[in-house]
Amino acid sequence: MDYGKVRVWFGNLGWFRRKQEQEEEDPQRLILEETQNLKKLFRKQGMLLEEVHREQQASAAGKKRDLEPLIDLCDALFYLQRAFQNPGLMSRQHAQVLNMVHQRMHRFAISFGLEMILAEGIPFDARIHEVVTNSTPDALLLGVLEVIQPGYLQNGKVLRPAKVIVGRRDDAPLLTPEGNRTS
């Protein structure tokens, strides 16, 4: 039998007993060590959560940045269509071609989850519209008279509100200076 190994083993056993005795003697030290270990763990978790949050923000910003060229193209097409809106500026065939291009662009934007806010003659909605001009400030109910700059929604979230001119809706009464309603 190798007595050297036995001595080492019993020596280790003695070290273990001394450590166990120290732990039994000083429970406050154990609590302090556990608290410090928990603090380290919470710090690591906090750093990981911050990193995940930064990655999510960068991803969201990247998605919006990826859509900017498409939004710019949709804007350009909107302004081109508005430029030729007056009758007599282009032939009927050219107007049909421009309308067809606009429809295809609209379908292409939808394939990216991008929806243009272009509707006129609808009630004003502050969530998706930004007022540029109010032509009848004394109206109770406002409607969108004209879209100046299109707005965009992506999956129901407003990326940019439409800039609009608002005014009295046909079915809305006016307020008199005394605060009474008129038709």
In tens digits, what is the pLDDT along the chain, a chain of 183 residues?
555 555 555 555 665 666 666 666 677 777 888 888 888 878 888 888 888 878 777 766 656 567 888 899 999 989 888 888 777 777 888 888 888 888 888 888 888 889 999 999 999 999 999 999 999 888 888 999 999 999 999 888 999 999 999 998 766 555 544 545 555
11 domain-assigned: no
Domain membership of residue 180 (yes or no) is yes
What residue has token string 């107007």? 95
The answer to whether residue 89 sits within a structural domain is no
Number of independent structural domains in the chain: 1
Kindly state the tokens that stand for 62: 């990247």
Q: Take residue 183 and report the two structure tokens written for it.
A: 């038709």
Looking up residue 145, the CATH number of its domain turns out to be 2.30.22.10
Q: Is residue 121 part of a domain?
A: yes
Residue 55 buriedness (CB in 10 A; 0-12 / 13-18 / 19+): exposed
Burial of 119 (0-12, 13-18, 19+ CB in 10 A): middle
Spatial distance between the Cα atoms of 170 and 183, rounded to a whole number of angstroms: 10
